[in-house]
Amino acid sequence: MRGNPDHPYTRGSLCVKVNRYLEHTRADDRILHPLRRTGPKGSGRFERISWDEALEEISVRLRGIIQEHGGEAVWPYQGTGSLGFVQGCEGAAGRRFWNVLGASRHWLNICSTAGNTGLTLTNGTPGGMDPEDFALSRLILLWGTNTLTSGHHLWKFVQDARADGAHVVAIDPIRTRTADQADQHLAIRPGTDAALALGLLNVVLAEGAQDEEFLAEHTEGWAAFREEILSHPVAKVAEITGIPAEDIHSLGIRLARTRPTAIRATMGIQRHAGGGTAMRTIAAIPGVTGDWRHPGGGVSYSTSGHLRLGVDTREDLLAAPVRTLTMTRLASELGSVKCLWVYGANPVGSTSDTNAIRRELRRDDLFTVVMEQFPTDTVDYADIVLPATMQTEHLDLHAGYGHLYLQWNEPAVEPPGECLSTTETFRRLARHMGLTEPSLYDSDLELAGQLLAGDHPSLEGITLDRLRKEGWVRLNHPKPFLPFADGFPTPSGRLRFPPAGEAYVPPLSVRTAGGSPYGLTLITPAAHTFLNTVFGNNPELRRRAKEPVVLVNPADAAERGLVSGQRARVHNDRGEFLADVEVSDRVARGVVASPKGRWPKHSPGGANANAVVEERDADLGRGAVYHDNLVEVSPCAGP
Ligand SMILES: Nc1nc2c(c(=O)[nH]1)N[C@H]1C(S)=C(S)[C@@H](COP(=O)(O)OP(=O)(O)OC[C@H]3O[C@@H](n4cnc5c(=O)[nH]c(N)nc54)[C@H](O)[C@@H]3O)O[C@H]1N2
Ligand SMILES: Nc1nc2c(c(=O)[nH]1)N[C@H]1C(S)=C(S)[C@@H](COP(=O)(O)OP(=O)(O)OC[C@H]3O[C@@H](n4cnc5c(=O)[nH]c(N)nc54)[C@H](O)[C@@H]3O)O[C@H]1N2
Ligand SMILES: [Mo]
């Protein structure tokens, strides 16, 4: 396995994790057969059973639960383990089957919904710049994104721009490896980005650098937003954000004078109480500067808004309307559920408030099925485990959220053991249950064909034959791509500025105003060596990741008697996890950081950062608040 140098976006490079993918497919701990639980829930003790036994037990339990409690007592909990459109969450694989049974709907809000909602309020779509066009930019703001860790392919385009003289600024509470490589780093107080956006625009207005023509032709709500900007002078914004006034002023001047300016803001920024609003207000910047007119200008969050495949989950198969259960509310919403069906997800590693989740998963009246490749902490609570295929073993069609290509994934090898793909598992289960709806039996190729049969203009000229032959195809968007040069996909066709009083929502630390016994804001960003919890069991990647660490600012460490290398408890009312202290000025006063993605069972104390994360919604789109939790860090007693 190697990267393809001809691919326009990756240009042949793989990341440190995917480089080990083939080795991972053959790992010793791969689940190869269906399993039935033999020990108490959580113990991870299982016996091997046949597929027939597994399907029979599942059919009987599902029928019984639906008869007694109704279909809505079943929660198909699908995660982001695969982003494929045939096998994974993008195409909501399995949903036709669940619709026939009348199961609850599942809302996958764990990742990006706050930002999507904020951007859509401003621009009418979460889609923005083509990341490849960053090569054309003169000023690049890497804002709440750790490019070199979580989306490194963009970096080559940043470097291209730099070769032409572009200035690169990282805006992040942590001095990340990306910030190290940038020309400048602004260490912002977590959750205050919307205020910074207003402060930068304040300087733009003072310089008279707003694009009056663009404002008049392509925006609405300018008068009120202008007032909002004027009420955020640099001094006030410096106080809110903790960034020195000179730095805000000088970046404001750069922004005023540099066209095109490209802003890359990804998911880190929206994992906060005010995260949706942060994206909404940042998206207003190119509306004021007119950057959307210029190739290499604008905002990039996700490209997924520029694609619409013909995903047909056959909602007409539902006999009656059903409720929707929320992914990030697993612990609190599981109470009314009798069957939890987990696939492509590892909630005991990735979802908020793990201790509360574990308490629910231990319930005797809950029937839990997990389709998995590896014995995760979530698998430990399953009644039945079904062995799942990996990318090299199943057919799929992928898009990216950081580029504009469709990818074909042809299975390269036979699945090992008795592993089955998601689609094949649901076909076999439907057959075992005697379901007669024909569309439950569509083959993977038929499903792929249906996806491409959508009538969205981005799919024009893309056929299944062509995709299979060429391997990847660029969506039907020009290059360079000016998505909003002629208007926005809002009802009025105009960019909508945030209304008065809605441009900044403060973070938890400000809301509690020192009233919390927990004085430190914990950020839990992407780990360099893991992909969420995927690869968290890979021996080489675990070796490179070393022991979990928590970064603590020297002043905060001194107050608590913490020294580097010492094991500490990071804790609050919900729980705790253990990590080795690294005293470092990479984090500002009041901020601590510990990357996500560790398997609890492979971590000291059996817990990861999600033991302290609250089940709480962001301001928009009910996004998660992974970087907006208050904790204390205390030395561990004993050795
Ligand atoms: N190596 C690796 N790559 C990944 C993943 C992974 O787990 N590992 N996960 C993938 C997935 S599913 C996703 S959604 C993306 C997520 O990747 P990103 O979008 O990059 O999100 P995060 O890593 O959560 O946060 C990015 C940066 O935002 C900073 N940040 C946190 N709070 C704030 C804030 O209030 N303001 C500002 N300005 N910055 C803030 C963090 O310190 C961090 O450096 O990455 C994908 N890529
Ligand atoms: N503290 C903290 N927690 C976070 C975040 C954070 O920033 N901080 N980020 C959040 C984000 S951005 C995301 S996207 C979520 C991710 O959370 P989840 O959606 O739960 O995803 P993962 O933890 O990556 O677990 C995915 C599982 O799917 C399995 N898998 C992979 N491919 C397949 C397949 O084809 N079929 C089946 N059956 N299984 C498969 C993998 O083995 C893995 O165990 O985590 C969130 N959790
Ligand atoms: Mo994500």
- Domain assignment present for residue 9? The answer is no
Assess whether 63 and 120 both reside in one domain. Answer: no
CA 345–ligand 2 middle distance (angstroms): 5
What's the confidence (pLDDT) of residue 638? Answer: 54
Average pLDDT of the residues in 519-533: 97
Assess whether 392 and 455 both reside in one domain. Answer: yes
Work out the pLDDT band at 255, boundaries 50, 70, 90: very high
Ligand nearest to the CA of 14: 1
- The encoded tokens of residue 539 equal 């021996």
3-state secondary structure 92-137: CCCHHHHHHHCCCEEECCCCCHHHHHHHHHHHCCCECCCHHHHHHC
Residue 388 has pLDDT above 90, yes or no: yes
Residue 512 has pLDDT above 60, yes or no: yes
Q: Is the CB of 115 under 6 A from ligand 1?
A: no
CA 389–ligand 1 middle distance (angstroms): 27
Q: What is the DSSP string of 517-564?
A: S--EEEE----SS-BTTBTTT-HHHHHHH-S-EEEE-HHHHHHHT--T
Q: What is the DSSP string of 367-420?
A: EEEEEESS--TTGGG-SEEEEB--TTTS-EEEE-SSSSEEEEE---SPPSTT-B
CA 111–ligand 3 middle distance (angstroms): 4
CA 272–ligand 2 middle distance (angstroms): 19
Average pLDDT, the chain: 97
- Domain assignment present for residue 503? The answer is no
Assess whether 174 and 213 both reside in one domain. Answer: yes
What is the DSSP-derived secondary structure letter of residue 636? P
Pocket test for ligand 2, best of 77, 350, 425 (most atoms within 8 A of CB): 350
Work out the pLDDT band at 485, boundaries 50, 70, 90: confident
CA 136–ligand 1 middle distance (angstroms): 24
Average pLDDT of the residues in 46-62: 98
- Domain assignment present for residue 23? The answer is no
Average pLDDT of the residues in 94-112: 98
Average pLDDT of the residues in 214-219: 98
> Which amino acid makes up residue 237?
V
Assess whether 332 and 436 both reside in one domain. Answer: yes
**Residues 6 or more apart from 458 whose CB is under 8 A from it?**
306, 307, 308, 475, 476, 477
Over residues 311-347, the pLDDT tens digits come to 999 999 999 999 999 999 999 999 999 999 999 999 9
Average pLDDT of the residues in 68-90: 97
- Domain assignment present for residue 149? The answer is yes
- Domain assignment present for residue 17? The answer is no
**Is there a cis peptide before residue 260, judged by omega within 30 degrees of 0?**
yes
- The encoded tokens of residue 430 equal 């439907």
Classify residue 223 as exposed, middle or buried by CB count within 10 Å of its CB (0-12, 13-18, 19+): exposed
Residue 455 has pLDDT above 90, yes or no: no
- The encoded tokens of residue 68 equal 């007694």
Over residues 13-42, the pLDDT tens digits come to 999 999 999 999 999 999 999 999 999 999
What's the confidence (pLDDT) of residue 382? Answer: 98
CA 469–ligand 3 middle distance (angstroms): 30
- The encoded tokens of residue 311 equal 């995903």
CA 553–ligand 1 middle distance (angstroms): 20
Contact 375, 31 (CB under 8 A): yes
Pairing of strands 549-552, 591-593: antiparallel
What's the confidence (pLDDT) of residue 576? Answer: 98
Residue 108 has pLDDT above 80, yes or no: yes
CATH (domain of 614): 2.40.40.20
* Sole residue written with tokens 């304040």: 202
Phi, psi of 572 (to 5 degrees): -155, -165
CA distance 118 to 276: 5
Residue 106 has pLDDT above 80, yes or no: yes
Atom of ligand 2 nearest to the CA of 610: 1
- Domain assignment present for residue 13? The answer is no
Show the ligand 2 pocket: residues with CB < 6 angstroms.
79-82, 87, 110-111, 267, 271, 343-347, 349-350, 371-374, 376, 388, 422, 524, 532-534, 596, 609-610, 613, 626
Per the structure, the count of domains in the chain is: 3
**Residues 6 or more apart from 505 whose CB is under 8 A from it?**
194, 273, 274, 276, 277, 278, 619
Atom of ligand 1 nearest to the CA of 15: 1
Q: Is the CB of 260 under 6 A from ligand 1?
A: no
Rounded to the nearest 10°, the torsion over CA 549, 554, 559, 560 is 10
Q: Is the CB of 254 under 6 A from ligand 1?
A: no
Assess whether 128 and 270 both reside in one domain. Answer: yes
Q: How many CB atoms lie within 10 A of CB 622?
A: 18
Rounded to the nearest 10°, the torsion over CA 253, 258, 264, 269 is 10
Q: Is the CB of 191 under 6 A from ligand 1?
A: yes
> Which amino acid makes up residue 52?
D
CA distance 455 to 606: 49
> Which amino acid makes up residue 72?
E
Average pLDDT of the residues in 341-369: 98
CA distance 376 to 120: 35
What's the confidence (pLDDT) of residue 294? Answer: 97
Work out the pLDDT band at 632, boundaries 50, 70, 90: very high
CA distance 458 to 477: 6
Average pLDDT of the residues in 484-497: 95
CA distance 188 to 532: 24
Contact 507, 192 (CB under 8 A): yes
- The encoded tokens of residue 639 equal 């050795």
Q: Is the CB of 528 under 6 A from ligand 1?
A: yes
Average pLDDT of the residues in 229-248: 98
Assess whether 349 and 378 both reside in one domain. Answer: yes
Percent of the chain with pLDDT over 90: 97
Q: What residues are neighbours of ligand 3 (ion), with CB under 5 Å?
A: 111
Phi, psi of 570 (to 5 degrees): -105, 120
CA 271–ligand 1 middle distance (angstroms): 9
- The encoded tokens of residue 512 equal 């509690």
The closest residue, in CA terms, to atom 44 on ligand 1 is 146
pTM: predicted TM-score of the whole model, two decimal places: 0.97
Assess whether 327 and 213 both reside in one domain. Answer: no
Q: Which own/partner contact pairs does 390-394 have at CB distance under 8 Å and 24+ positions apart?
A: 390/21, 390/24, 390/25, 390/419, 391/21, 391/82, 392/1, 392/21, 392/22, 392/25, 393/25, 393/419, 393/421, 394/86, 394/87, 394/421, 394/422, 394/423, 394/444
Assess whether 456 and 572 both reside in one domain. Answer: no
- 3-class DSSP state of 511: helix
Over residues 126-177, the pLDDT tens digits come to 999 999 999 999 999 999 999 999 999 999 999 999 999 999 999 999 999 9
Assess whether 274 and 218 both reside in one domain. Answer: yes
Work out the pLDDT band at 639, boundaries 50, 70, 90: very low
Assess whether 319 and 435 both reside in one domain. Answer: yes
Contact 497, 220 (CB under 8 A): yes
Residue 207 has pLDDT above 90, yes or no: yes
Q: Which domain holds residue 207?
A: 113-304+490-496
**Exposure string for 397-428, b = 16+ CB within 10 A, e = fewer:** bbbbbbbbbbbbbebeeebeeebbbbbbbbbb
- Domain assignment present for residue 384? The answer is yes
Assess whether 360 and 371 both reside in one domain. Answer: yes
- Domain assignment present for residue 147? The answer is yes
Pocket test for ligand 1, best of 150, 154, 521 (most atoms within 8 A of CB): 150
CA 514–ligand 3 middle distance (angstroms): 31
Ligand nearest to the CA of 535: 2
CA distance 599 to 378: 10
CATH (domain of 83): 3.40.50.740
Average pLDDT of the residues in 58-77: 98
Residue 65 has pLDDT above 50, yes or no: yes
Radius of gyration over alpha carbons of the chain, in Å? 25
CATH (domain of 170): 3.40.228.10
If we measure between CA atoms, which residue out of 43, 1, 38 comes closest to residue 23? 1
Average pLDDT of the residues in 70-85: 97
Assess whether 50 and 158 both reside in one domain. Answer: no
Half-sphere exposure of 271 (CA within 13 A, CB side): 24
CA 78–ligand 2 middle distance (angstroms): 9
Contact 171, 183 (CB under 8 A): no
What stretch of H or E contains 275? Answer: helix 275-282
What is the DSSP-derived secondary structure letter of residue 492? T
